[in-house]
Amino acid sequence: MWKVVGAVALLCGALITALTPDSVLGQAAYLISFAGMTVAAWAAAFRAAAGRRTPWVLISAAVTSWLAGDVTWGILQLTHAETDVGLQDLFWLGGYPLLGAAMLSIVRRRGSGRGRAALQDGLTLSTAAAVAAWQFFIAPGLDGDGDPLAVLVGSLYPVGDVVLLAAVLYLLLSPGRTGVPGALLIAGTGLMLFMDTGITLVTSDWAAGDVDRLNGALLIANGLVVAPLLRRDRDLLTRPARAEVASLHPARLIFLGVAMLTAPITAVVQGAAPAGERFGLLAATVITVALCLARFTGAVREQARAQQSLIHLAGHDSLTGLANRRALSARLSGDIDGLFLLYIDLDGFKAVNDEHGHAAGDAVLIEVARRIRGQVRAGDLCARLGGDEFAVLCRDLDAAGARDLGERLGYALAEPIVADGPIVRVGASVGLADAADCADGDELLSLADHAMFTIKRSRRATVAA
C-alpha cells in the first residue's frame, strides 16, 4: 500500500513542479519528492543480502548525487550566489558513472563472459551517439569565447549521457530477460537521457522558468530508476541468465546500420562538395552499409541455425527425439521440489532384437517414445536413458495422479507394435519415485530405478512360480 502512496506522491510532486517551477511550493514539492524517493532507495538497498547489494547501492548513490546537486543549487539560488560552475556540477556529473556502474554490475551478475556481443553493439551505438554529441553539443561550445572552465564542465554533461547510454544499451542487449524491473530501469534511464538532450537543445531558447518545468519529467525518470529496488521481483535483474543461442533481432540490425552511417553522413552533409556530389556519396554509403549488413545477417543466422541444431543434438536422443540422459540429469540438478519421476524399462525387448533384427528394435523404440509422449502433459519431460530404458519427469502432480500415469503408460506400451513388418509385443516395468522422499536429483533417479527393478523382479518371480 505504501508503494502506491509513494508513487502517487511522486506524480503529484512532478505535476506541481511542472506547473509552478519558480514558486516555493514547486521547488519544495520537487525536493521533498526527490528526497523521499532517495530514502526509499537506500532502505530497499540495505534490505538486500550483503552479497547482492552492490547494484542497488550504486543506484541509490546515483540518485543521492543528483539530489545533492539540486539541493546545492537551491541553496546557491536562495543566497544569490549562483555561478556557472560550482559544487552542484560535481554532484550532477557524479551520478552518471554511478548509475552506469550499477548497470554494468547487473550485467556482470547475470552472466559473466556471455555479454560480449551486447558490449560490442552497445559500444558501436554509443560511438555513434558520441559523434552526434560532439558535433551538435560539444564542438559549438568550444568555438565560443566563454569561460574555459564553464565550457569544459558543460562538455562533460554530453559525455556523461554517452557513458550512461553505453551502459543501458549493454543491459538492454545482454542475453536473458530482465522482466518488469529491467523495463523500469531502462525506461527511466531512457527518459533521463531524452530529457537531458531536450534541456540542452532548448536552454538557449527558453526562459529559465520554462526549462525548470522539465524537472517534473526528470523526477519521474528518477522514480522509474528507483522503482526496481522496491519490487519483490527485483532479483530478476541480477539472476544469472540462461544460456541462449545468439540471434540478430531486426531492430538490432537497424540500430547498427544507423550507427555505422552516423559519422559518414555527418561528414558528407557538412562537406564542401556540390550538393549533387554529396547526395551521390551519401546514397553510395547507405547502399554499401545495407549490403554489408544483409550479408552479415545471413552469415549470423546460418551460424545460429547450426548452433541450435548442435544444442538440440546434445540434449536429445537421435533415434526417438526424446530428451537424453544428459538433459534429464541437468533438470534433476536443479530444484526438485514437487517432482515425480517414472522410470520405464521394456520387457521382452531383447527378444525382438534377437528374432527380428535391429531395424525392428529401432521401430519398437520409436513407437514406444511416441506412446509415452501421448500419455504425458505438455510440460512433462520425456527422456530415453539408453537402450530400452525411458523416464518421465512430472511437476505439479499428486501421488495418485503419478500412479495413474504409471498405469496408463504400462497399458499403452503393452499394446501390439508393428516393428518394421512383424507385429510384436513388449511390456514395461514402471517404477515411481517422489522427490519429497529424496535429498537431490541423483537420489530421485536411483529411487525410481530401484522401484522399477522391484516390479521387474516380482514379475519374473510370478512367471517362475
Tell which residue, 228, 247, 248, has the closest CA to residue 238.
Answer: 228
300-343: pLDDT as tens digits: 778 777 777 777 778 899 899 999 999 999 889 888 888 999 99
The DSSP 8-state label assigned to residue 240 in this structure reads: P
Other beta carbons within 10 angstroms of residue 28's beta carbon come to: 14
Q: CA of 86: how far to CAs of 91, 152, 162, 208, in Å?
A: 9, 12, 22, 18
**Confidence class for position 372, pLDDT limits 50, 70, 90:** very high
What is the structure's pLDDT at 94? 93
CA dist., res. 191 & res. 123, Å (int)? 20
Would the pLDDT of 116 be above 80?
no
pTM higher than the cut 0.75:
no
pLDDT at 242: 62
Please tell me what DSSP assigns to residue 243.
P
Q: Where are the domains of the chain?
A: 2-244, 245-315, 325-464
| Separation between Cα atoms, residue 195 and residue 103, nearest integer Å | 20
SS3 string of 385-424?
EECCEEEEEEECCCHHHHHHHHHHHHHHHHCCEECCCCEE
Give me the DSSP letters along 190-244: HHHHHHHHHHHHHTTTS-HHHHHTTHHHHHHHHHHHHGGGGSTTGGGTTSPPPP-
Q: How far is Cα 440 from Cα 432, in angstroms, rounded to an integer?
A: 15
pLDDT at position 19: 83
pLDDT for the residue 248: 60
SS3 115: coil
Q: Which CATH class is domain 325-464?
A: alpha beta
> What are the pLDDT digits (tens) for 34-93?
999 999 999 999 988 777 889 999 999 999 999 999 999 888 888 888 887 889 999 999
More confident residue, 42 or 143: 42
User: Residue 262 pLDDT more than 80?
Assistant: no
At 56, the amino acid letter reads W
**pLDDT value at position 459?**
67
- Higher pLDDT: 404 or 123? It is 404
Percent of the chain clearing pLDDT 70 (strictly above): 88
Q: Are strands 389-395 and 423-424 parallel, antiparallel or unpaired?
A: unpaired
- Average pLDDT of every residue of the chain: 83
Say if CB 38 and CB 58 are below 8 A apart.
Answer: no
Q: How confident is the model at residue 369 (pLDDT cuts 50, 70, 90)?
A: very high
Mean predicted confidence (pLDDT) in 358-368: 91
Average pLDDT of 185-203?
82
- Cα–Cα distance measured from residue 300 to residue 295, given in angstroms and rounded to the nearest whole number: 9
Residue 203 above 70 pLDDT? Answer: no
Distance CA 465, CA 458 (A): 11
**pLDDT, tens digit, for every residue of 5-43?**
777 888 888 888 888 877 888 888 888 999 999 999 999
Predicted confidence at residue 375, as pLDDT, reads 92
